Structures are given as C-alpha cells and as structure tokens.
C-alpha cells in the first residue's frame, strides 16, 4: 500500500456470505472492513466488543430473518474490526505503538473517507459502542443515528480496571487460555447461556469459545489497553443530537453504565430498551428482542422492512424527518421503568 489511504480488496465471498473484505491502511494501522450489500444504499457501520469481530458479535442479529430483512434491505453494511481482530489476523508487531480510544475513533473517519461515505448509521456493542459514541462526539456531522448495545461511557470502575489488568496479564503469559475465555464469556452472556453444573453450556457460548481460539492474544491486549485507558465522555453526551437507541441486558455487568448513559443523553433523542434474562451481547443472545425497537427507530428515517416498503432506499438518510415521539417507550410498544428510578437504585 503506497499511501495512507491505500487499500487492498480481497474477494472472500465464500466466507462472508456475499461480503468482501477491504484492508484499509490508516494512520494507526491497517483495518479490516467487510462490506456487505449494495453500496448505493445508506451505510450502517458496525463495531464489535473486545476480542470479537462481526462473525462473533453480529452474526446472530443478521441471521435473525426479520432483523436481517430490515437491515439488509435498507443498508449497505460496513463491518469494521478492531485492529488484529479480523478472521485469520496475524499478531501485530509489539513495536507498533498501541492505539488509544481516540485513535480507534479516528480510524473510523479514515474508513468512511476511503469508501466515500458521508453520513452513516452506527451500531456498536460495549467497547465498540464506546468507540462509535466517541466518533459521533468528535464528528457529529457524519453520524445520523446510534444503535448501542450495552454501551460504555465512563472511565473504568475499580472492579473493571482490576479485571482488565488480570485479563491482560493472563493474555500476556498464557494467551487465550480457559480462564480468559471464562472472563470474556461472563462479559458477554447471561448465566443461562454460560451454563453451570446442572445446565449445559449453550451452543452460542460454545461457538464463541471456538471463535475466541482464533484471536491473537497480543492483538486483544492492544484493544483491551485502549479501552482500559478510555476517558469519561459523559459530559459530552448532552451535545449529541443524533437519535440514539440503547439496548441493555438486565444481567449485563455494564447495566448501570448503560442506564447512566441513557439518563445523561438528551431524553428527546434517546430511548433505553432493557432486555430481560440477557447479558451484554443482545445481538447474539436475544437478537429478536431488538427487532421492534429498531423498526420504529428506523421508521423515523423513512426506512421500513421490505414487506412494508418495496423500493430499495438509495438516498441519504434525513435526520429532519425524525419525530422525537417515535423513540418514546410507549410508541415502541415497550413498558420501561423510569430511568431515574433505575439510576437511583444502582
């Protein structure tokens, strides 16, 4: 790659079900982007959680027929992997400087510019949700909406900091060992999915274990280090004026943080959806629970499931057509407790 915006496009349709991988060189290293769909359509950018990529973080959602028909009919999907998290990634050279959360957010801008994208819809899970929120705060003119799953917005708590340091040490000395996998599965899934002595581990958790085996420990450590050094962005959330839809599993270790974020954002622009008996990774554990809220959310942009809207959308999304009441829990058919009540109880 000759320059900072060069890329090599690799045809991997048999692996990515019709998608194509592009390796985009940025100021902070090479980023793998899987592009799926008609590039004339509006863009949906995804960013996964720690140690995951689009196959292990968003496959459940896109394999859910109703959700897939809603998203793939309306968007061209751009799955961005954290550096070194793509399938078949080699270990990143230890001498390369480790990116910060800011660097990862700036990489997204470089990816958008490479593909010639203007304004985009964003979907992220936990660490990925933080990166996309930070990107939206830095480049508000490039983001029309955020769909965030178990998002982070504060600096790590003492308990999270401790666990992150422990995982980092284990990765350094033992690689992606069984103990690290257990910590990560606790981060992702509810107790029911993880199983116990009486209940066997679910197929979802077993598949995730196998996919974690493919991660290079040094690459995971770099992303973990960036997230562990993340600053608190709560004070800047009020400035976000794009519509934001937040999903949180009631068994997620980041439950209180998601509630805090929803309470801090302008209530006219944000809706919080709590998913019962679910961990952080709603996209894999209960993707069907995301359908109705997303459907109402996207209706505000004039985007519908194909059974309701037969033509393929090819014009830029227009934020001016969103009515704030579309994001109210009542309009979504949801019964939510007041956020203030949940916050005070946390």
* Residue entry with tokens 């958008």: 112
| Nearest one of 9, 242, 49 to 152, comparing CA atoms | 49
Query: Token pair for residue 179?
Result: 């103990």
What distance lies between CA 106 and its chain's CA centroid? 16
The pLDDT tens digits along the chain (346 residues) read 334 344 444 333 334 456 899 999 999 999 999 999 999 999 999 999 999 999 999 999 999 889 988 999 999 999 999 999 998 999 999 888 899 999 999 999 999 999 999 999 999 999 999 999 999 999 999 999 999 999 999 999 999 999 999 999 999 999 999 999 999 999 999 999 998 878 889 999 999 999 999 999 999 999 999 999 999 999 999 889 899 999 999 999 999 999 999 999 988 899 999 999 999 999 999 999 999 999 999 999 999 887 644 444 443 444 333 344 444 444 444 444 433 323 333 3
Report the alpha-carbon distance of residue 75 to residue 120 in Å, rounded: 10
Residue 34 DSSP SS3: strand
How many Cα atoms occupy the beta-carbon half-sphere of 316 within 13 Å?
11
Sign of CA dihedral 245, 77, 136, 311: negative
Report the alpha-carbon distance of residue 200 to residue 170 in Å, rounded: 26
Q: Report DSSP letters for 203-261, one per residue.
A: HHHHHHHHHHTTS-HHHHHHHHHHHHTPPP-GGGGGG--SEEEEEEETT-TTHHHHHHH
CB-based contact 317:42 (threshold 8 Å): yes
Strand order in the sheet with 120-125: 7-10, 20-26, 29-36, 76-80, 43-47, 120-125, 143-149, 243-249, 270-275
Confidence at residue 18, expressed as pLDDT on a 0 to 100 scale:
64
End-to-end distance of the chain based on CA atoms, in angstroms?
50
Count Cβ atoms below 10 Å from residue 316 Cβ, excluding itself. Answer: 13
Report the alpha-carbon distance of residue 111 to residue 135 in Å, rounded: 12
Residue 165 burial (C-beta neighbours within 10 Å; 0-12, 13-18, 19+): middle
Task: Spell out the alpha helix ranges (H) of the chain.
Answer: 13-16, 54-57, 59-63, 65-74, 101-115, 127-138, 158-174, 178-188, 191-194, 203-212, 217-228, 255-264, 282-285, 291-299, 339-345
> What is the torsion angle, in degrees rounded to the nearest 10, for the CA atoms of residue 43, residue 26, residue 99 and residue 143?
-20
* Residue entry with tokens 């899970």: 125
Residue 173 burial (C-beta neighbours within 10 Å; 0-12, 13-18, 19+): exposed
What Rg, from alpha-carbon coordinates, does the chain have?
19
CB-based contact 207:181 (threshold 8 Å): no
């Amino acid at each position: 790659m000759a320059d900072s915006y060069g890329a090599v496009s690799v045809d991997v349709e048999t692996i990515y079900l019709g998608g194509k991988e592009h390796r985009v060189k940025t100021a902070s290293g090479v980023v793998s982007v899987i592009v799926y769909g008609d590039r004339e359509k509006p863009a949906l950018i995804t960013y996964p959680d720690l140690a995951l990529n689009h196959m292990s973080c968003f496959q459940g959602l896109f394999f859910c027929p109703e959700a897939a028909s809603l998203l793939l009919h309306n968007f061209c999907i751009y799955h961005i992997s954290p550096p070194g998290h793509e399938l078949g990634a080699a270990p990143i050279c230890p001498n390369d400087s480790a990116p910060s959360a800011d660097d990862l957010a700036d990489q997204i801008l470089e990816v958008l510019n490479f593909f010639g994208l203007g304004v985009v819809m964003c979907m992220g899970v936990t660490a990925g949700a933080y990166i996309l929120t930070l990107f939206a705060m830095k480049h508000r003119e490039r983001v029309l909406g955020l769909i965030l799953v178990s998002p982070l917005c504060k600096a790590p708590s003492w308990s999270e900091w401790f666990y992150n340091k422990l995982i980092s040490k284990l990765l350094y000395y033992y690689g992606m060992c069984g103990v690290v996998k257990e910590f990560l599965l606790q981060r992702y899934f509810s107790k029911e999915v993880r199983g116990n002595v009486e209940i066997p581990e679910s197929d979802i958790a077993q598949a995730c274990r196998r996919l974690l085996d493919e991660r290079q420990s040094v690459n995971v450590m770099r992303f973990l280090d960036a997230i562990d050094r993340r600053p608190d962005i709560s004070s800047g959330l009020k400035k976000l004026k794009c519509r934001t839809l937040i999903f949180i599993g009631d068994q997620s270790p980041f439950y209180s943080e998601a509630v805090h974020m929803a309470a801090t954002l302008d209530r006219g622009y944000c809706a919080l959806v709590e998913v019962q008996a679910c961990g952080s990774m709603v996209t894999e554990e209960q993707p069907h629970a995301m359908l109705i809220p997303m459907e109402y959310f996207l209706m505000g942009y004039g985007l519908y499931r194909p059974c309701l809207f037969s033509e393929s959308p090819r014009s830029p999304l227009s934020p001016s057509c969103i009515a704030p009441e579309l994001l109210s829990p009542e309009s979504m058919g949801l019964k939510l407790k007041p956020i203030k009540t949940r916050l005070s109880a946390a």
